[in-house]
Structure 1
Amino acid sequence: MSIDAQLNDLLPSAYAPYRNPRDYITGWTDRIWINRGLGQINDMYAPDVKVHTCYGETYGMRDVIGNSIQKMVAFPNRGGGHDDVIWEARGDNSFISSHRVFNNATHTGHWTYGPPTGRTWFNRSVAHCLVRNNVVVEEWVIRDEFAVLEGLGIDPYVVAAELADHSPVLGKAIESGEKASSFAGVIADPVVAGISGARPARYREDSAMIVRYFDEVWNQRHIDRVAHYCNEAVVCQSVRMRRSMQISNFQMEVMALLAPFPDGVIEVRDIAVHESADLGTRIAVIWLLRGTYSGSPVYGAVNRAPVNIMGVSHFELRDGKISREYRIFDEISVIAQIIKHGNGWKSPTAIAS
């Protein structure tokens, strides 16, 4: 399936005046963040846009623009590479776009984390946007925030403790999946339809393969099945800029996330597949890991806190197997949930002392 064939699923009005959905996403992102055309956010987002994050839900344009101004002042040289845009049609005038960005910036202005440090940070993030009638109506945002704090030399546990007191990350919506939360409900068959809506009847085989990968390797703990789903030279790019190569190291990255949450179960909540001549076949997956902090004390003293981890994986396929995975989730959100639960929790620093 070529990129031109996938464009046949959409009316040109879905991404006009750009050539295709990838140009639509990268073009207006640059206009807002590189050219600082903040007012154009009003043109690109619906007035009642829903933004889902690992910390709760935001509705409407005021918060989107206000937060963007603050971030631009704190990190005026913020740059980023458009690593990839994996898009798929959602009807003839809508599409889902999973936009992966490699970010870097120097902290020269005041920000949520305090006064300027003069230090530079690097991370990856994904904006998973539902575009309908040429505007973004819903967005799921996942960032590797631990990498930011690590780069700035700021204790992530201090920041997570502050979020535990003030952020909606620990509200009932995130704990129980109420209302429009990113964690609400259960997806019956993500191959057919996910949180972004019904999928086109194509790439079902590749999509089903990815769902089986999560079920067998992650949920059934058949870690040896990594060799069945991945190429021998598979690469995993994960949080805190970790990079692992080959089957055995890929297996360790899977187990490293499960070890603190040994009862964890992953649910696939959205899938988008795109194929292009330059980048081949890629699959974007929004997933949710539910578990309790009852295993390895990676994030301080174990306290059996219930944890919801919203994450995203971008897979690159070669010869029907996974050749690369970009796996992103927000550890600060995880730590905040653990801290809020209390029950004897102590930070790794406190334990060490």
Structure 2
Amino acid sequence: MTIDKELTKVNPAAYAPYRNPREYITSWTDKIWIARGLGHIHDHYSPDVKVHTAYGETYGMDNVISNSLQKMVAFPNRGGGHDDVVWEKRGDDGFISSHRVLNNATHTGHWTYGPPTGKDWVNRSVAHCLVKDNLVVEEWVIRDEFAVLEHLGLDPYKVAADLAKKSPVLGTTINRENSSITALDSIDNVLARGISGPRPDIGRAECETVLALFDRVWNQKFFDEVPEHCADNIVCQTVRMRRVMGINPYQMETMELLSFIPDGKLEVKDICVHDSEDLGLRVATIWLLKGTYSGSPVYGPTNNAPINILGSSHFEFRNGKIIREWRIYDEIAILAQILRNDSVNNN
């Protein structure tokens, strides 16, 4: 499918002095994190930026700089590969950028998880940034933190128990009623408008394929319909650096995720499409899966804890079908919600 370039054209002032939104995102990310130009955050973030995570949300540039400084000290050799930037126009003066990164680092400084272990870790993350007038005004960040703890040899249950009492971002108790992940607005028609604002009508066929996959397969449990949406050699790369290939393994990966939250319902909160000569057409999503921990005891004994999973999936298309999915969510945040429920009920 050919996308109307006029509908995708972004005002160059929104990403100046870079050549395009992709270069805008990757260049300043390297400038801040690789060259350690932390002060450049002032050049690229709005003073009142809002940052959403699986644990809560922060407001203002001071929090961004403080959290970034601490992370740089804990992981001074932190590198990362820019897996992809899926971007799409938002209004006359901005764009949404879904930046998928393969991170790696060595734990040589103090961090939320404790003193240095000296061990290496690798994970994937997505930074879904809304850029207006050349500044990031809102960001949704999703990280595979379980992979980090696994590589560092730390107990994820102990870390999650600590987070259940106090969020590392906010320093306050996780509150399901008021947290950012439950307060995300209900979306009437994500093809027209998501949490990042109104979007152009592009890539409709591919977007509808993604939405049908989430609705029919994830929500309605028609796992036999996966071949209708995905190529026979579908590859899914997901949390803890797992990789599966083929229809049957893809079905099982999805079923296993849903098995511990069998009443879960997923809603796509944002969607964007980009088609490029080098990578083809990709669809990026932010989604929220809500239900109760009432199925398979994947994370210990089930306790009917309310669970909210903030996730992101990037889909790559070929010949009208999904050939790759990158699926990222935070299992430590899931554990924290389960353990917090036990703590509340035992008090």
The aligned residue for residue 35 of structure 1 is: 35
How much does 1:181 deviate? 5.1
For residues 319 and 327 of structure 1, the distance between their equivalents in structure 2, rounded to whole angstroms, comes to 21
The aligned residue for residue 219 of structure 1 is: 219
1:233–1:247 Cα contact (<8 Å) kept:
yes
2:182–2:308 Cα contact (<8 Å) kept:
no
Which amino acid is the alignment partner of residue 253 of structure 2? Answer: E
The aligned residue for residue 78 of structure 2 is: 78
1:170–1:337 Cα contact (<8 Å) kept:
no
The aligned residue for residue 302 of structure 2 is: 302
The aligned residue for residue 351 of structure 1 is: none
2:7–2:200 Cα contact (<8 Å) kept:
no
2:8–2:89 Cα contact (<8 Å) kept:
no
The aligned residue for residue 171 of structure 1 is: 174
Which amino acid is the alignment partner of residue 106 of structure 1? Answer: T
2:55–2:174 Cα contact (<8 Å) kept:
no
Percent identity between the aligned chains?
63
How much does 1:9 deviate? 2.2
1:9–1:92 Cα contact (<8 Å) kept:
no
Which amino acid is the alignment partner of residue 38 of structure 1? Answer: L
Query: How do 1:190-229 and structure 2 match up within 5 A?
Result: 190-229=190-229
For residues 184 and 3 of structure 1, the distance between their equivalents in structure 2, rounded to whole angstroms, comes to 29
How much does 1:213 deviate? 1.0
How much does 1:203 deviate? 1.4
For residues 220 and 295 of structure 1, the distance between their equivalents in structure 2, rounded to whole angstroms, comes to 16
Q: Quick check: 1:186 aligned with 2:189?
A: no
The aligned residue for residue 291 of structure 2 is: 291
How much does 1:6 deviate? 6.0
Which amino acid is the alignment partner of residue 72 of structure 1? Answer: M
How much does 1:298 deviate? 0.5
The aligned residue for residue 272 of structure 1 is: 272
The aligned residue for residue 313 of structure 1 is: 313
- 1:68-88 Cα shifts (integer Å, max 9, x gaps): 111111111110000000000
For residues 229 and 4 of structure 2, the distance between their equivalents in structure 1, rounded to whole angstroms, comes to 28
For residues 312 and 133 of structure 1, the distance between their equivalents in structure 2, rounded to whole angstroms, comes to 25
Q: Secondary structure at the match of 1:62?
A: helix
CA RMSD of aligned residues (A): 1.9
Which amino acid is the alignment partner of residue 29 of structure 1? Answer: T
For residues 115 and 173 of structure 2, the distance between their equivalents in structure 1, rounded to whole angstroms, comes to 26
The aligned residue for residue 350 of structure 1 is: none
The aligned residue for residue 18 of structure 2 is: 18
TM-score by length of 2: 0.95
Query: How do 1:218-257 and structure 2 match up within 5 A?
Result: 218-257=218-257
Q: Which moved more, 1:146-155 or 1:183-192?
A: 183-192
- 1:157-183 Cα shifts (integer Å, max 9, x gaps): 0000000111268633xx2356x6564
Which amino acid is the alignment partner of residue 284 of structure 1? Answer: A
Distance 1:32 1:131, change over 3 A: same
Q: Secondary structure at the match of 2:104?
A: strand
Distance 1:6 1:239, change over 3 A: farther
Distance 1:4 1:268, change over 3 A: closer
Gaps of 5+ in 2: none
Q: Secondary structure at the match of 1:262?
A: coil
Gaps of 5+ in 1: 347-353
1:87–1:96 Cα contact (<8 Å) kept:
yes
Which amino acid is the alignment partner of residue 67 of structure 2? Answer: N
For residues 8 and 193 of structure 1, the distance between their equivalents in structure 2, rounded to whole angstroms, comes to 15
2:165–2:174 Cα contact (<8 Å) kept:
no
- 1:49-93 Cα shifts (integer Å, max 9, x gaps): 000000001000111111111111111111000000000000121
- 1:188-242 Cα shifts (integer Å, max 9, x gaps): 1111110000110221222122111100000010001111100000000010000
Distance 1:73 1:3, change over 3 A: farther
1:206–1:320 Cα contact (<8 Å) kept:
yes
- 1:331-351 Cα shifts (integer Å, max 9, x gaps): 0000000000007999xxxxx
TM-score by length of 1: 0.93
Q: Quick check: 1:66 aligned with 2:66?
A: yes
Query: How do 1:36-115 and structure 2 match up within 5 A?
Result: 36-115=36-115
Q: Secondary structure at the match of 2:273?
A: strand
How much does 1:10 deviate? 1.4
How much does 1:115 deviate? 1.0
- 1:142-167 Cα shifts (integer Å, max 9, x gaps): 00000000010000000000001112
How much does 1:5 deviate? 2.4
Q: How many residues align?
A: 343
Q: Secondary structure at the match of 1:188?
A: coil
Q: Which moved more, 1:204-213 or 1:139-148?
A: 204-213
